[in-house]
Amino acid sequence: MVDGDDHLNMEHNPELLADLQVMAADLRDAFVRNPQPDVATRHLAAMTNATLAPVVPLGRHHRRMAVAAMVAAGGVLAFGGLAAAGVLPASLQSGAAKLVHPIGIVLPDPGDHDRGPSSSDQAPGLGGTNPGKADEAPGQQDQPGNSESAPGLGGENPGRSDTAPGQTGDGGNNKPTVPPGQVDNPGQGSGNSNGQSDGPPSSVPGKGTPGGPPSSVPGKATPGGPPTSLPGPSQGR
Amino acid sequence: MSLGEEFAAILASASDGDERALEQIYRDNAPLVLGYARTNGSRDPEDVTQDVFVAVVTGLRSFQGDERAFRSWLLTITHRRLVDDLRRRGRRPLTQSDGTILTDQAAPDSTDGEALARLQARGVLEVIDSLTDDQRAVLLLRMLADLPIREIAAVLGKNETAVKALLRRAHAALGRRLADDGPTDADP
C-alpha cells in the first residue's frame, strides 16, 4: 500500500472497517437476491437436462471438429499432391485418376501406359528390351544428341557426304544394300554412338526402322532423313 | 444460505441426479452466483448463472469436500464463466454516466431499494466500477461471499499475498471515497 493509504488500513481504522461492513451488508441486500421464479424454473430445467444427457462443452466439441477438419483437409491435400505428381502406388494412382476424371481433372494413370506414345512416362518409339525411361528422351541412352553421331550415320566420320547413304564420292554407285539408316547395325558404326541401345535395333519402333515416324529428337536414325546437324549432301560437293 | 449438516446427504443425492437435491443446492446458492455476476458487470447475469449450475451438475460427481469447499468451487466456476463472458461481451458498469443504477442490475423493491439508495448515495457503486477487474473480484468475493483470503486466492488462482494487496487497494479506494463524501452523503 502506498504511504498515503496507510491511514485507510483496516487494522488501523476501525471506523472504516465498520463502514465497509455496512457497505457489504448493503451490497448483499441489494444484489444477492433470489432469481425471478421464471428464471429459476428455466435454470432448474437446464440442470435436469444436464443430468439426463451430459453434454460435451461446446468449446471442446468445436475444437475436436476443427482438428478433424484440419486433418482431413491435410490428408486430401497430401493425397492430391502425390496423385498429381503421379508418385502414388499404381493401384492408388489409377483409382485416383479414375475418381477425378469425371470432373475434368486428369491425373497420371499407370493403367494408360500401353495405350500409345503419348503416355507421360514412356517416350514414344521405345520398347523392346529397353523400354523407355521417364528421364530419357526417346532413342537416347548415354550421350544424347551428339552431333558426331548423327542418326543414320555410321563409321568413324558420321555425317560426311562420302558415307551418307546414296551420297558417296563415286556418284552414288556405292548404294547401301539396306535402306538408309538400316545398316547392319543402324547408327552403331562407332560402336558407342548415341541413339542406340544394346537391344535389337530393328525391332524397336522408331529406332532406325525404315518408315518410322520422322522425329526431331536427336539420335534417332530416321531413314532418308537429313542428319539433324550435319548437312551431308552439301559436304559431298 | 446454508444447508448445514444436511449438505453431505443432499450432495450425494444430487450427484445421483435427484431433482429435489439439485433444486436445494440451486436455491441455496443461486442468489450468490447471480449477485456476483451482477456486481461484476455481466451483461446477462442470468445466463451466466445457468451456465454455472449446468457445469456444477455435470461436474458434481468429481467434487469432494464440505459445504464451504463447495461454495468456493461454485464461485471458481462462476468467476471463470464471468471472465469468459466479460472478455466476449464486455463489462457493463453498475452505474451510468449520470450516476443512476442500471435498472436491470438490481431492481429495487421495498427492502433492496433502501440498500441500493445508500450505496448509490455514498458512491460505492461508482468506486466498484472504477476498480480493476482483479480488485473488484477480490472485494466482491470478500463482501458478498465473505470468503477468507485463502479461499479468495484459490477462487482467483492467485497467491494470498497478491490477494491481500488487491484487497488493500480496493479498500483504500472505498475509504478515500467515504472520507471525501461520507459526512455529506451520510446525512439523508
CATH number at residue B74: 1.10.1740.10
Low-confidence winner among A39-48, B64-73, B106-115, B116-125 (lowest mean pLDDT)? B106-115
What does the pLDDT read at residue A124? 47
Nearest CA in chain B to A35: B31
Mark which of B44, B62, B92 sits at the end of a domain: B92
Q: Which of B74, B53, B60 is nearest to A40 (CA)?
A: B53
B182 and chain A: CB distance < 8 Å anywhere? yes
Cβ atoms < 10 Å from Cβ of B21: 20
One domain for residues B86 and B136: no
Q: In the predicted model, is pLDDT for residue B31 greater than 90?
A: yes
**What's the CA gap between A185 and A137, in Å, rounded?**
20
pTM score, whole prediction: 0.53
Distance of CA A70 to the CA centre of its chain: 22
CB contact under 8 A, A23 and B165: no
> Chain A partners of B175 at a C-beta cutoff of 8 Å?
5, 8, 13, 16, 19-20
* B128/B174 same-domain check: yes
How many Cβ atoms are within 10 Å of B59's Cβ, its own excluded?
13
Q: Which of B92, B114, B140 is the last residue of a domain?
A: B92
**What interface predicted TM-score (ipTM) does this complex get?**
0.84
Do B108 and B187 reside in the same domain of the chain? yes
> Out of B26, B124, B142, whose CB is closest to A44?
B26
Other C-beta atoms lying within 10 Å of the C-beta of residue B106: 25
Report the alpha-carbon distance of residue A42 to residue B53 in Å, rounded: 11
Domain span holding position B167: 97-188
Q: B11 versus B109: which is more confidently predicted?
A: B11
Pair B47, B116 in one domain: no
* B104 has a chain A CB within 8 A of its CB: no
Q: What is the mean pLDDT of residues B67-85?
A: 93
Residue B140 sits at the chain A interface (C-beta within 8 Å): yes
pLDDT at B176 over 80: yes
Q: How far is B106 from chain A (nearest CA, A)?
A: 6
Q: Name the DSSP class of B3.
A: -
Confidence label for B144 from pLDDT (cuts 50, 70 and 90): very high
Mean pLDDT along residues B4-29: 90
Residue B122: CB partners within 8 Å, gap ≥ 6?
A23, B177, B178, B181, B182, B185, B186
Q: Which amino acid is at A216?
A: S
Q: Which CATH number goes with the domain that contains B128?
A: 1.10.10.10
Domain match, B86 and B166 both: no
User: Does B1 share its domain with B88?
Assistant: yes
Placement of cell 505428381 in the chain: A85
Together in a domain, B81 and B9: yes
Same-domain check for residues B6 and B82? yes
- Using the predicted structure, report yes or no on whether residue B124 has a pLDDT greater than 50: yes
Under the banding of pLDDT at 50, 70 and 90, the label for residue B180 is confident
Q: Which contiguous run of DSSP H or E holds residue B57?
A: helix B45-59
Asked if B115 and B186 sit in the same domain, the reply is yes
Nearest residue of A to residue B175, measured between CA atoms: A8
Q: Determine whether the interchain pair B168/A20 forms a contact, defined as Cβ–Cβ distance below 8 Å.
A: no
Q: Is residue B84 domain-shared with residue B167, that is, in the same domain?
A: no
pLDDT tens by residue, B152-163? 999 999 999 999
Q: Report CB contact under 8 Å: A44, B50.
A: no
Interface of A with B in 35-64 (CB under 8 A): 35, 39-40, 42-44, 46-48, 50-52, 54-55
Give the pLDDT confidence score for residue B105 in this predicted structure. Answer: 54
pLDDT at B34: 93
| More confident of the two residues A162 and B66 | B66
Quote the minimal CA–CA distance from A72 to chain B in Å: 30
Kindly give the parts of chain A with pLDDT less than 50: 1-8, 116-128, 132, 139-140, 144-145, 147-156, 158-237
Distance from CA of A7 to the nearest CA of B (A): 9
In sequence order, what are the residues at sequence separation of 6 or more whose Cβ sits closer than 8 angstroms to the Cβ of residue A161? A167, A168, A169, A232, A233, A234, A235, A236, A237
Domain end (from B76, B92, B108): B92
Query: How many domains would you assign to chain B?
Result: 2
If asked whether residues B134 and B148 sit together in one domain, one would say yes
In this prediction, residue A9 carries a pLDDT of 56
Same domain, yes or no: B24 and B66: yes
